[in-house]
Structure 1
């Protein structure tokens, strides 16, 4: 079973199209860091990583933010291990830092349809954050979005099933330093 699974996953990666290279991702994170520093550098914000997908891009972003901030995380999802999102948002972990009256930056991997990010942003607003802004590594280009747009977007990509740089394919490949699209999607 393990050998078969490894071969299946290696085939997915070999056949995938690389949409954003390591260098392009570095440039996207640099752009995000410049904009975020300008807007939040003097506000003592809390950077709120959306797990699990936001882990890799949040870590890369934090290395570029050279001002005082705090870091925390939330874990809320619509996907689990499925390829298509479910309607209901499932919360696995709420923030540990008291964010009431604070500026919060929610960092996620992708702005696809936006249901998850919108629900998280609205939750912070409803629960006392002074301000809430959001950032994503990529924005997927299509017209099935909720009525919101992240304040900070690193890059735009076509509407395909993506993995790498925090995004997974059935739980795998979050670790890749590139963003890939599954062949045929």
Structure 2
């Protein structure tokens, strides 16, 4: 598939998969499950940058409204570095919070094939985290995911197409769009 040149062209040739209202409803449902599962603890809430930022902020507010405290930190690890296919994992920032003995919630925009999240989850376990769970706004619908990797808390399903918006980028643009779009095939 030939990609559009820029964000306006991508938007003109994309379908809205999930609008803002649907996304916010999914996040509220996820927050309730997370609050129930982490009750009695203060998990380390690790936002996976950059894509996870819009979703993580909204999810954290919903969790806080339900009375669960979180200890915030972030990580920045990428396999894409601006490309449309991944390579080796490159760490730009590792969390400063000690993870030994802690419950960790990794928060990211999407589980596609899961290579980055699998490596990040393994790193958290190597740091001694007692429990590592994944919250993802979207899960791509296909059967190519890394064995054993899944979102413990998944908001929405998206088609196996190039998706962008609400944290997910189109050529490093459009992460702040308040909906999820998919390019036409």
Give, in whole Å, the separation in 1 of the partners of 2:48 and 2:9.
29
Query: Any conservation in 2 of the 1:12–1:183 contact (CA below 8 Å)?
Result: no
Query: Any conservation in 2 of the 1:41–1:68 contact (CA below 8 Å)?
Result: no
Which runs of structure 2 are paired with 1:16-95 in the superposition (5 Å)?
16-66=14-64, 67-86=68-87, 88-95=88-95
Which runs of structure 2 are paired with 1:107-118 in the superposition (5 Å)?
107-118=107-118
Q: What is the CA-CA distance between 1:37 and the residue it aligns to?
A: 0.4
Q: Which residue is equivalent to 1:3? A: none
Give, in whole Å, the separation in 2 of the partners of 1:41 and 1:59.
20
**Unpaired runs of 5+ in structure 1?**
1-6
Runs of 4+ in 1 over 4 A off after TM superposition: none
TM-score normalised by L of structure 1: 0.92
Q: What is the CA-CA distance between 1:150 and the residue it aligns to?
A: 1.5
1:85-118 Cα distance to aligned partner (Å, 9 max, x none): 22x1111100011221111000000000000111
1:133 aligned onto 2:133: yes
Q: What is the CA-CA distance between 1:157 and the residue it aligns to?
A: 1.1
Q: Which residue is equivalent to 2:162? A: 161
Q: What is the CA-CA distance between 1:22 and the residue it aligns to?
A: 0.4
Deviates more, 1:74-83 or 1:164-173: 74-83
Q: Which residue is equivalent to 1:10? A: 8
Give, in whole Å, the separation in 2 of the partners of 1:114 and 1:55.
18
Q: What is the CA-CA distance between 1:41 and the residue it aligns to?
A: 2.7
Q: What is the CA-CA distance between 1:9 and the residue it aligns to?
A: 2.2
Give, in whole Å, the separation in 2 of the partners of 1:30 and 1:75.
25
Give, in whole Å, the separation in 2 of the partners of 1:144 and 1:172.
26
Give, in whole Å, the separation in 2 of the partners of 1:119 and 1:95.
14
Give, in whole Å, the separation in 1 of the partners of 2:171 and 2:59.
25
